[in-house]
Structure 1
Amino acid sequence: MLKPSQPAEWARSFFAAVDSDDIDAIAAAVSDDVLLVAANSEPIKGKEALIASARSAAQRPINMRHEINDVWQAGGDEDVIVTAMTVRYSRQPDGASVSVPCCVTFKFHDGLVHDYRIYIDYSPVAALMA
C-alpha cells in the first residue's frame, strides 16, 4: 500500500483492495484501533471488527466497484484524504446494478488509517437487494 502522502495513488490502491475483497491489503492499511463509520450504520471499532465486516461483505451476493472522481488532502493536511466517487453495486447472479454517489474521508496516524468515514445513501442498494 502506498503512503498517504500520495493521496490519489493511495486511494486507488485501497479501493482496488476493497473491490477485490483483498482482506490482507485492507488489514495492512488500517491501525489496530481504526474506527469505521459507514452512513447511518453502527460504528465498527478496531481492526479485527473491520476485517470481520469485510469478510462478511465478501460473502454477499453483490459486487462493488469504486469509480474515483476526485481525491484531495483536506486543507493540505497530509493526515487527511478525502475521496469523491461513484460506487457501482451489481447484484449476482442477474447483474442488476445501481450507481450511488459517495464521499469517504480517511484520517491517518503513523501512516495507517485510524478514522474511516463513508458518506453514502444505502437506500438504492437496499432496494437492489430486496
Structure 2
Amino acid sequence: MKTSTDTVSLTQALYQAVDRKDVDFLAQVLGEAVYFQLGNFPAVEGLGAVLEANRGFFSSIESMSHTLDNIWQEANHTICHGKVDYVRLDKTHHSARFATVLRWQEGVIDDYRVYADISGL
C-alpha cells in the first residue's frame, strides 16, 4: 500500500480536531451523506446526525488524546491505527487501541468507521 503525504496530513488533522472536540472542523471534512460508526454505538448517517453524535460523545468525556501508529492509503480509503487516552468526567483515565477506516469521496469523508472497545468509558 502506498501512503500519500496529503492523506497522512488530513488524517492527522482529523485526529487533532477530534482531540480538540472541534465539531466545526468535522463539519468541513465530512460529506453530507456521511456514514459514521464508533465502536459499539449505533451507526449514524447524515452530516447533521453525525455532528450531533460527536457532540454527545465529546460531552461525555473530559478529554482525549490520540496517538497514530500508522496510516495507509489504498485508492480512496485511509486506514490508521493507534492508541487513544481518555480522561473521564470524574478525572479517571482509560486507554484503548483503535483502528479507523475512512473513505474519501470528492475531497470529503463519506464513510468513517472507528473500531475500538470503549465500553470502559
Give TM-score scaled by structure 2 length: 0.89
1:84 counterpart (81, 88, 98): 81
Q: Following TM superposition, where does structure 1 have runs of at least 4 consecutive aligned residues deviating by more than 4 angstroms?
A: none
- Equivalent position of 1:122 in the other structure: 118
Structure 2 segments unaligned to the other structure (5+ residues): none
Aligned to 1:57: 57
Give the letter aligned to residue 90 of structure 1.
V
Q: Map 1:15-94 onto structure 2 (within 5 A).
A: 15-74=15-74, 77=75, 79-94=76-91
The CA deviation string for residues 60-94 of structure 1, in whole angstroms up to 9 with x for no partner, is 243111111111113xx1x1101111011112343
Q: TM-score, normalised by structure 1?
A: 0.83
Bigger mean CA deviation after superposition, 81-90 or 53-62: 53-62
Question: How many residues are matched?
Answer: 118
Amino acid at match of 2:86: Y
RMSD over aligned CA atoms reads 1.6
SS at match of 1:124: coil
Instruction: State the alpha-carbon separation in 2 of the partners of residues 99 and 70 from structure 1.
Output: 18
